[in-house]
């Protein structure tokens, strides 16, 4: 039995109907595929943002919470401060870097990123490669502090005691690859002393160890130690800068005391995201950060903690990360091989 032939007009009509159906289904689906990212970026943020803090307690937590409160007010979404401490900040930093680059996981990074890059013996993590810089937040100088119950009158007295008892004194650090650790090693190198580093997870643990007398001293930021000094639990012996601090006018600088390699002792904090963050979301976060940094009340809070601005843009932060890494490479090369 033969199949009847379809008349040409009917065949053309059927083909046109099929084409219309395909266009109705395929074209909207294709357009939706390409426009979803743009829509997601335009509506950012539309859910809570996690702000990862890689140290427990201390000034990192303090800065993160004050900054996060203001970021929440601008973005109109909850900012969840999430502490992931360990490994001198490496644990939380690498965890944040591995999250989706969608703007809902941010990181408060510090100068430890530059120091880790300077110390890196492999290529498993590079902050310049694996993170997106958004904006710097603040920098703080280091104070060398001790318990009020320790007998040291000043830094020279501490050094004299250390020289008389090699290996008997110790100092607290945030870990082996942090600014406080590098400051401690630089002091040992310049003074020719043998002082034992004791690592802690964060500033709060270091403060407790200092107050209890478990350690002899520590390099801690001015922002963190202010309350302990004000309450009479800790006393400053020197500030690791070339100029005296407006918040600690009676504390001598390391330069005044004759120590030349310790005058660049400061830590900084900045906002990062995982690598690959869309430009529109980065720009939104950078603009919000700039708005916070320009807020007189925020700047007043930082000034009360002896904090200084270090720029406002993602380009400023990228340059800070590069220049600080170069500085640490130079400082590490100047340390004896055993300390390095």
Domain map (residue ranges) of the chain: 49-139+267-334, 141-257
The answer, yes or no, to whether residue 138 has pLDDT greater than 70, is yes
In this predicted model, which residue has the larger pLDDT, 152 or 179? 152
Are 257 and 238 within 8 A, CB to CB?
A: yes
The answer, yes or no, to whether residue 4 has pLDDT greater than 60, is no
Is residue 60 very low, low, confident or very high in pLDDT (cuts 50, 70, 90)? confident
d(CA 53, CA 63): 10
- What mean pLDDT is predicted for residues 63-81? 97
d(CA 271, CA 276): 15
- Residues 287-334: tens digit of each pLDDT: 999 999 999 999 999 988 889 888 899 999 999 999 988 888 887 887
Is residue 247 very low, low, confident or very high in pLDDT (cuts 50, 70, 90)? confident
Is residue 166 very low, low, confident or very high in pLDDT (cuts 50, 70, 90)? very high
Are 82 and 104 within 8 A, CB to CB?
A: no
Between 31-35, 74-78, 191-195, the lowest mean confidence (pLDDT) is in: 31-35
Between 40-54, 141-155, 276-290, the lowest mean confidence (pLDDT) is in: 40-54
Express as a percent the part of the chain with pLDDT over 90.
56
d(CA 209, CA 195): 16
Express as a percent the part of the chain with pLDDT over 70.
84
Tell me the CATH architecture of domain 141-257: 3-Layer(aba) Sandwich (3.40)
d(CA 276, CA 336): 39
User: Residue 292 gets which letter from DSSP?
Assistant: H
Tokens of 323: 């220049």
- Note whether 49-139+267-334 and 141-257 share their fold: yes
Look at residues 125, 106, 127 and name the one whose alpha carbon lies nearest to residue 44: 106
Strands 266-274 and 131-147: antiparallel
In this predicted model, which residue has the larger pLDDT, 34 or 248? 248
CA atoms within 13 A on the CB side of 185: 21
- What mean pLDDT is predicted for residues 274-295? 97
In the prediction, which pLDDT does 14 show?
A: 44
Are 48 and 104 within 8 A, CB to CB?
A: yes
In the prediction, which pLDDT does 253 show?
A: 92
Tokens of 76: 């109109």
d(CA 174, CA 180): 7
- The terminus-to-terminus CA distance of the chain in angstroms comes to 93
- The domain made up of 49-139+267-334 has a fold known as D-Maltodextrin-Binding Protein; domain 2 (3.40.190)
Kindly report the length of the chain: 340
Average per-residue pLDDT for the chain: 85
């Amino acid at each position: 039995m033969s199949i009847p032939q379809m008349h040409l007009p009917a065949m053309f009509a059927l083909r046109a109907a099929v084409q219309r159906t395909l266009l109705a289904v395929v074209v909207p689906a294709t357009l939706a595929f390409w426009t979803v990212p743009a829509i997601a970026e335009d509506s950012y943020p539309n859910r809570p943002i996690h702000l990862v803090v890689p140290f427990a307690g201390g000034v990192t937590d303090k800065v993160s919470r004050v900054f996060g409160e203001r970021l929440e007010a601008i973005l109109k979404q909850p900012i969840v401060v999430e502490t992931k401490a360990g490994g001198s900040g490496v644990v939380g930093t690498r965890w944040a870097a591995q999250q989706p680059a969608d703007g809902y996981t941010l990181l408060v990074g510090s100068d430890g990123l530059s120091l880790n890059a300077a110390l890196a013996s492999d290529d498993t993590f590079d902050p310049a490669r694996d993170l997106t810089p958004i904006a710097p937040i603040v920098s703080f100088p280091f104070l060398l502090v001790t318990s009020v119950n320790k007998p040291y009158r000043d830094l020279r007295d501490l050094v004299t005691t250390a020289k008389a008892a090699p290996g008997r004194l110790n100092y607290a650090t945030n870990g082996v690859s942090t600014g406080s650790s590098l400051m401690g090693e630089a002091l040992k190198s310049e003074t020719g002393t043998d002082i034992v580093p004791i690592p802690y997870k964060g500033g709060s643990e270091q403060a407790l160890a200092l107050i209890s007398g478990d350690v002899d001293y520590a390099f801690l930021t001015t922002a963190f130690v202010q309350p302990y000094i004000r309450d009479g639990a800790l006393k400053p012996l020197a500030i690791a800068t070339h100029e005296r601090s407006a918040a600690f006018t009676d504390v001598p600088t390391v330069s005044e005391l004759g120590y030349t390699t310790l005058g660049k002792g400061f830590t900084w904090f900045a906002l990062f995201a995982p690598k690959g963050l869309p430009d529109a979301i980065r720009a939104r976060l950078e603009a919000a950060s700039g708005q916070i940094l320009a807020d007189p009340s925020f700047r007043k809070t930082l000034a009360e903690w002896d904090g200084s601005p270090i720029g406002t843009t993602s380009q400023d932060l990228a340059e800070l990360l590069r220049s600080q890494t170069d500085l640490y490479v130079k400082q590490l090369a100047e340390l004896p091989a055993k300390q390095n």
